[in-house]
Amino acid sequence: MPKKFIKRKEQREKKRIALERVNILFSLAERIFPYDRELANRYVGIALAVQQKAKVRMPRKWKRRYCRRCHSFLVPGVNARVRLRQKRMPHVVIKCLECGHIMRYPYLREKKERRKKKEMEGKLIQKGRKIK
């Protein structure tokens, strides 16, 4: 096997391991959060270091579970406020109650997809009626 491919394979393996560790660290943070927030935040810090070093994307599941500014682990309703806003662009507003940082995540794409799906379903229903 050429060296290039071996290297690529190695890198893929590294990324896979990094992702696995990010997942484990966030799961630990979630579990320990009710008992020890400080420790939960430390897990997040390590997870972020791993993620940045390996240059992997933050899994969707955890993307909104930490503060971008103070790196606190966030639990909606406990130390994070989550609101939906429609102004200008539909988005989710997550406010970190530890440091007051505000993060916005647009969900226009999700909305579009949903609309598409609904339209499709509508068409199917119409078709069904026609057959009857």
The residues in 7-66 that bind Zn ion, with binding defined as CB under 5 A, are: none
Q: How far is the CB of 59 from Zn ion (least distance, A)?
A: 20
What is the nearest approach in angstroms of Zn ion to the Cβ of residue 24?
Answer: 23
Instruction: Write the CB contacts of 84 (distance below 8 Å, at least 6 apart in sequence).
Output: 90, 91, 92, 93
- Which range, of 10-18, 58-66, 96-104, 122-130, touches Zn ion by CB under 5 A? 96-104
User: Is residue 94 a contact point for Zn ion (CB under 5 A)?
Assistant: no
* Rounded-to-integer distance, Cα 92 and Cα 84, Å: 5
| Closest distance to Zn ion from the beta carbon of 13 (Å) | 34
Long-range Cβ contacts of 89-92 (<8 Å, 24+ apart): 92/64
Q: Cα Rg for the chain, rounded, in angstroms?
A: 21
List Cα–Cα distances, 102 to 10, 32, 41, 117, in angstroms: 38, 24, 18, 31
Structure tokens at 45: 């810090």
Binding mask 57-86 for Zn ion (x = CB under 5 A): ----------x-xx----------------
Kindly tell me which of 49 and 102 has the beta carbon lying closer to Zn ion: 102
Catalog residues that contact Zn ion under the rule CB under 5 A.
Answer: 67, 69-70, 96, 98-99, 101
